[in-house]
Amino acid sequence: MGQADAARVGAALPKIDALEDVPAFTDVRPSDEQRAAFEAFCAAAETPGEMHLGCVVRLDRGFPLVVTAERMLRAEHAVGFAKQDKEKGDGLLPAVGDWVALRLAPGHDMGVIERVLPRRTVFERWRGKNRGERQVLCANVDAILVVQPLGAGEVLLGRIARSLVLAADCGAEPIVVLTKADRCSEEEREGEVARVRRLVGGGVRVVVTSSATGEGLDGVRACVPAGTCSMILGESGAGKSTLLNTLLGHDALETGAVRARDDAGRHTTVARVMVKLPGSCGVVTDAPGLRSLPLVGHERGLARAFPEIVEASRGCRFNDCTHTHEPGCSVRAAVEAGEIDELRLEVFKGLASEMRVSAQSLDPDIHL
Ligand SMILES: Nc1nc2c(ncn2[C@@H]2O[C@H](COP(=O)(O)OP(=O)(O)OP(=O)(O)O)[C@@H](O)[C@H]2O)c(=O)[nH]1
Ligand SMILES: [Mg+2]
Ligand SMILES: [Zn+2]
């Protein structure tokens, strides 16, 4: 983005002074590797004295807000980024949570992001036409809060499973948060929690919340301790921003009503925004609701999210067994022996077949 564009967009951005709950430098801590990478970058830079280590804590319409040890400032990308973008997709463009080398020339109040420092973890989804094209949703993230609302029919298990696969692929801990508990009966809620439990097994935390009654807030707080960064993920209208506002204790983030007809949101949140929760809690990134989470190239995540199924499939007679009708299928045998939950297998099969189709259509040389 050139200076003129930057000025035009900049004028429409929220004023820095008016922003609340922005994490401080000490809330987001770089790793030792990131510090070392920054030192190495400075050592080779022409103007090392102008370089600052910073964290991207907001993206408003793609426009970064960076926090350094000294201050908070808007930043633009160095000219080189536009070229990298064309060659490699947007993998190297700064995402929320990224640690960057920021150049601040004397007398300027806008920084220039010169380099994105190596990421500890990357939470990303496929976007575009080719296998490699990915959108980084959050960098250096420790946990993903997978949100699904209660009280609008059955919780979407497929959607939760997809989110689990993406989180597993990036090495972040998935935590399921069922919001809007005030909208359903005790019986319905128990049923939904049991279904979710069956899907995710005992190793994933499930928290039931209501921003209307305050239920479950301590449960969420316990999942996002100080020093950690989480991202909140879910469809528009799921109550993500409302939950964060409730945890913050005031309306820092914009929220919007859902459609009565189908409970769908209106894509109220448009920026990616990190907020520091009060007290001994960490940082959470609010993000726009995502309509889709296509599974393209998440073989590793699928294997990590469904380890017992992948393990059992090693015993199947056919390498490409789909665990549906083939003879000598160890996975179906394990289901019949009560060792694998049938519900998990059903969800796994849906995701695996989607991934086989996408892998073949996008890149015919790659087989699952
Ligand atoms: N009854 C009830 N309504 C809630 C609760 N949490 C959120 N809502 C309502 O759900 C609607 C959507 O909430 P938001 O927080 O804007 O949803 P979001 O997930 O941030 O949506 P996007 O920003 O569009 O992705 C609003 O009308 C909220 O008041 C809750 O716990 N109980
Ligand atoms: Mg929102
Ligand atoms: Zn099989």
Q: What is the structure's pLDDT at 290?
A: 86
Q: Which DSSP category does 155 fall into?
A: -
pLDDT of 263 reads 82
Mention every residue, 6+ apart, whose C-beta is less than 8 A from residue 271: 58, 59, 60, 61, 288
What is the CB neighbour count within 10 angstroms for residue 33? 13
Tell me the mean pLDDT in the region 105-109.
Answer: 89
Q: Residue 286 is encoded by which pair of tokens?
A: 């609010």
Q: What is the dihedral of CA 33, 135, 227, 252, to 10 degrees?
A: 150
CB 259 within 8 A of CB 266: yes
Specify the range with the lowest mean pLDDT, choosing from 54-63, 130-139, 140-149, 228-237.
130-139
Protein fold of 124-131+136-286: Rossmann fold (3.40.50)
What does the DSSP 8-state code read for residue 306? S
Q: Is 121 in the pocket of ligand 1 (CB under 6 A)?
A: no
Give me the percent of the chain exceeding a pLDDT of 90. Answer: 71
Report the CATH number of the 306-362 domain: 1.10.40.50
Ligand 1 mutation pick, 163, 236, 242, 253, max ligand atoms within 8 A of CB: 242
CATH 1.10.40.50 domain range(s) in the chain:
306-362
- Residue nearest ligand 1's atom 22 by CA: 236
What does pLDDT average to over the chain? 90
Higher pLDDT, 146 or 364: 146
Q: Which residue has a Cα nearest atom 10 of ligand 1?
A: 239
Annotated binding site for Zn(2+): 316, 321, 323, 329
Tell me, in angstroms, the distance from the centre of ligand 3 to residue 145's CA. 32
Taking 60 as the threshold, does the pLDDT of residue 91 lie above it?
no
Q: Would the CB of 217 count as within 6 Å of ligand 1?
A: no
Tokens matching residue 197? 């439990």
Task: Examine the pLDDT at 287 and tell me if it is beyond 50.
Answer: yes
Give the per-residue pLDDT at 368. Answer: 41
- CATH architecture classification, 3-120: Beta Barrel (2.40)
Minimum CA distance residue for ligand 1 atom 7: 239
Distance CA(207)–CA(173), nearest Å, equals 14
Please identify which residue in the block is written with the tokens 């103007």. Answer: 47
Q: Does the C-beta of 95 come closer than 6 Å to ligand 1?
A: no
- The Cα–Cα gap between 222 and 20 comes to 22
| 3-state class (DSSP) for residue 140 | coil
Using CA atoms, how far apart are residues 34 and 117, in angstroms rounded to an integer? Answer: 6
- 185: buried, middle or exposed (CB in 10 Å: 19+, 13-18, 0-12)? exposed
Residues 6+ apart with CB under 8 A from 365: none
Residue 115 has pLDDT above 60, yes or no: yes
- From the CA of 314, the nearest ligand is 3
pLDDT band at 129 (very low <50, low <70, confident <90, very high): low
Is ligand 1 within 6 A of the CB of residue 216? no
Residues of each annotated binding site: 179-182, 234-242, 316, 321, 323, 329
Whether the per-residue pLDDT at 4 is higher than 80: the answer is no
The verdict on the CB of residue 288 being under 6 Å from ligand 1 is yes
Instruction: Give the closest residue (by CA) to ligand 1 atom 12.
Output: 237
Q: Whose CA is nearest to atom 16 of ligand 1?
A: 255
Q: Which of 160-174, 289-303, 354-368 has the highest mean pLDDT?
A: 160-174
CB atoms inside a 10 Å sphere around CB 74? 18
**Residue 150 neighbours by CB distance under 10 Å:** 23
Domain with CATH 2.40.50.140 in the chain: 3-120
Residue 23 structure tokens: 């994490």
Confidence category of residue 260, pLDDT binned at 50, 70, 90: confident
Report CA(201)–ligand 2 centroid distance (Å): 28
- Check whether 24 has a pLDDT greater than 50: yes
Q: Where in the chain is the domain with CATH 3.40.50.300?
A: 124-131+136-286
The whole-angstrom distance between residue 52's C-alpha and the CA centroid of its chain comes to 26
Under 8 Å between Cβ of 77 and 1:
yes
> How close is the Cα of 79 to the center of ligand 2, in Å?
32
Cα dihedral sign, 176-180-186-191: negative
* Mean pLDDT of all residues in 219-231: 97
Atom of ligand 1 nearest to the CA of 151: 1
Q: What confidence score (pLDDT) does residue 356 get?
A: 83
Task: Measure the CA–CA gap between 106 and 50, rounded to whole angstroms.
Answer: 8
Residue closest via CA to ligand 1's atom 27 equals: 257
Would you tell me the crossing angle of helices 186-200 and 157-170 to the nearest 10 degrees?
40
The percentage of residues in the chain with a pLDDT greater than 70, rounded to a whole number, is 90
Q: Which tops the pLDDT comparison, 157 or 269? A: 157
Distance separating alpha carbons of residues 98 and 101, to the nearest angstrom: 10
Ligand nearest to the CA of 260: 1
pLDDT score recorded for residue 92 = 74
Cα–Cα nearest to 273, from 293, 290, 252: 252
C-alpha dist (Å) from residue 148 to 159, 180, 234: 9, 9, 6
